[in-house]
Amino acid sequence: MLSYLRERFTSHFRERSRRRARLVSKDGRCNIEFGNVGQSWFVFLIDIWTTILDLRWRYKMTIFISAFLGSWFLFGLLWYVVAYIHKDLPEFNPSINHTPCVENINGLTSAFLFSLETQVTIGYGFRCVTEQCATAIFLLIFQSILGVIINSFMCGAILAKISRSKNRAKTITFSKNAVISKRGGKLCLLIRVANLRKSLLIGSHIYGKLLKTTITPEGETIILDQVNIEFVVDAGNENLFFISPLTIYHIIDKNSPFFHMAAETLLQQDFELVVFLDGTVEATSATCQVRTSYIPEEVLWGYRFAPIVSKTKEGKYRVDFQNFSKTVAVETPHCAFCLYNEKEAKAKEKKGYDNPGFVLSEVNETSDTKM
């Protein structure tokens, strides 16, 4: 039993050690860390609006609650100081004819409640400002203006966070794996993408980047060298009619970085294929981008996607997302180089070969000597 557990733990840690680093996760998040930036906090404070929008919800709600509670308590202290300076508190035993700056402030608690009622405009009740103190009037105006600013900024940040197009991008899904098989007589890398909403993405455009480590002729090592990968569908890669799942494909020709790869050497390669889908949300006219990535272990050679669109008896089209990432093994050349060499060989067989050294000469027939 102990030996079995030891083998399981060993295989688990070995698998983790072999796990490849990826720049973009499957859900589109970038896996990158910035170090030694130097005073980066000041740069983020200058662009405070974007900083607030990019914060996680738990930090945003903490700032939201702290901003309101902090402002209420701060102005509560100021109202208490005004009442203390003007000797409106009961501990000073004011006379019957004494007019306080704020009615019915008897301590710090009542000052806090008055600050809360002033800033959120829920009604004063028995506590109200009199015309006795100019300081109290100025403080009332200042708190009202600052309260509107805080309320507008924090509520606007939450609404902007909710309505960001990044949330719309979560309803766009890519297949778990990419596949390589023949399509239209050509070897292609295929990826399936689907829109989970009935509303369209207007002006959709899809493209890819192949990230790999390269060494230049000068000896420089580029860790994240980017190579453009063109993806198309049968109708082109511009203005996709994105109402049903689409299978996009990249033709592996002589200009493709996948041309010299083979089924046997695919897992030995070190690359990351990042796929981007840009579009405009139909409901809000906001632009959004969806990202995902594939590493060599997620590229299946010799497979194609199973069909998922069918037509019902009622005349409707049905999409079965249970088979969205399901693949089927098909006969596929083990490398693109071999496929194109085979095509060139067949083309030469049909056309024949030219022999420039061939010379046509006439041969005269000679009559044999009669016996």
Whole-model pTM over 0.75: no
Are the beta carbons of 84 and 132 closer than 8 angstroms?
Answer: no
> What pLDDT, on the 0 to 100 scale, is given for residue 185?
84
Residue 178 burial (CB < 10 Å; 0-12/13-18/19+)? Answer: buried
> What pLDDT, on the 0 to 100 scale, is given for residue 33?
76
> What pLDDT, on the 0 to 100 scale, is given for residue 13?
44
> What pLDDT, on the 0 to 100 scale, is given for residue 357?
54
> What pLDDT, on the 0 to 100 scale, is given for residue 32?
80
What are the tens digits of pLDDT across the range 2-22?
565 556 555 544 444 445 678
What are the tens digits of pLDDT across the range 129-169?
888 889 999 999 999 999 999 999 988 988 888 877 677 77
Burial 86-105 (b: 16+ CB within 10 A, else e): bebbeeeeeeeeeebbbbeb
> What pLDDT, on the 0 to 100 scale, is given for residue 3?
61
Domains delineated in the chain? 40-162 (1.10.287.70), 167-351 (2.60.40.1400)
The token pair at 166 is 């990044």
Q: 10-residue block means of pLDDT along the chain (371 residues)?
A: 56 50 85 72 78 87 92 95 89 84 88 90 79 90 93 89 76 92 90 86 87 86 88 70 85 90 88 91 83 93 90 85 90 81 55 51 48 44
Residue 199 burial (CB < 10 Å; 0-12/13-18/19+)? Answer: middle
Stretch (H or E) spanning 21: none
> What pLDDT, on the 0 to 100 scale, is given for residue 228?
92
